[in-house]
A = this chain, B = another copy of it.
Amino acid sequence: MVDPEEFIEEAIVEIREKIGDANAVIGLSGGVDSSVAAALTHEAIGEQLTAVYVDTGLMRKGETEEIEETFAFMDGLRIIHAEDRFLDALSGVTDPEEKRHVIGEQFIREFEREARDADADYLVQGTIYPDRIESEGNIKSHHNVGGLPERVDFEGIVEPVRDLYKDEVREVARELGLEEIISERMPFPGPGLAVRIIGEVTKEKVEVARESCHVVEDELEEYEPWQAFAAVIGKGTGVKGDNRVHGWIVAVRSVESRDGMTARAQELDWETLQRIQSRITGENDNVARVVYDVTHKPPATIEYE
């Protein structure tokens, strides 16, 4: 485990040396990795940093507001509201790889416009150690702002947390004084709620996924999972009153892990599972059933797509 204080001092020196008095840009995803990378870079170069947060419409409940508050101290914070453009781009797309590709493309389009405006020579990324391992194994096809370096002509890429594990990043976040909601935040995938929706991404399914994820995070906080979320995985029958209805099936996932490379499905109390299912079916009229994922990684992945 690195010493957070020492790490921060060294990182700031390294970032200053690399970027000098040029401008830099970073994409804030809402997760702890890019938040720490941004805070470190801001410490190092202040207003030379532009931090771009793209609201894709696929974010967690309240996430955009939290980012706005947490990073209010940065003059270079840019919040881009691109919900409709993402939904339009995703219309009719059902293949998981194609979905990630469309989101990645749209993200780059939104981001590169801001990067050019900021006249940035350097791209800062929140890549951490396990990301680099997984990209080599090709397990994930969209990480951070993959593909951007070829499109915008940056002088260099800076990855201040590239050698850290997730728990080390959290230590650094606490040391930097980042809000607890950010430092303790569970990992959230690059393509957002889109990978928590099997099949086409629609506004209705995004709403169900967002509300259900919120219930799961809320109810499972005390279990301290590595990651816990809900996914909209299909449709099945239900009964409301005397009528047979067709409603969404929501899967709940909660896993224990050190680094995300392997994971174990978490044993939950029956009362907790019942509270989750009754909140999700009660608050979402169009949800017919809730299932709990009992599979480890491997053979399953943590996310559904």
Residues of A near any B CB (own CB < 8 A): 96, 137-139, 198, 233-240, 242, 244, 246-247, 249, 251, 265, 267, 270, 273-274, 276-277, 281, 287-295, 297-301, 303-305
Contacts and interface: CB of A to CB of B under 8 A. Distances in A.
B267 A294 contact: no
Which of A234, A242, A294 has the most chain B CB atoms inside 10 A of its CB? Answer: A294
A256 to B, nearest CB: 13
Contacts of A305: 236-237
21 contacts: A96-B246, A137-B242, A139-B239, A233-B233, A236-B300, A236-B305, A237-B301, A237-B303, A238-B298, A238-B300, A239-B297, A240-B298, A240-B299, A244-B301, A288-B301, A289-B293, A289-B300, A290-B294, A291-B294, A291-B295, A292-B294
Contacts of A265: 277
Given A291-B291, A291-B292, A293-B291, A299 B267 contact: no
Contacts of A303: 237
A55 to B, nearest CB: 26
Nearest to A293: B291
B234 A234 contact: yes
Contact of A235 (B198, B242, B277, B288): B198
A238 B301 contact: yes
Contacts of A139: 239, 244
Given A238-B299, A294-B291, A295-B290, A138 B277 contact: no
A249 B291 CA distance: 11
Contacts of A292: 291-292, 294
Contact of A273 (B137, B233, B294): B294
Given A277-B295, A294-B291, A234 B233 contact: yes
Given A237-B300, A244-B301, 6 more contacts: A198-B234, A198-B236, A237-B305, A281-B300, A290-B295, A292-B292
Leading 9 A-B pairs by shortest Cβ distance: A291-B291, A289-B300, A289-B295, A239-B298, A267-B270, A236-B304, A234-B234, A237-B301, A273-B294
A282 to B, nearest CB: 9
Contacts of A294: 273-274, 276-277, 290-292
A238 B305 CA distance: 8
A195 B37 CA distance: 50
B281 A295 contact: yes
Contacts of A295: 277, 281, 288-291
Contacts of A249: 233, 251
A244 B270 CA distance: 32
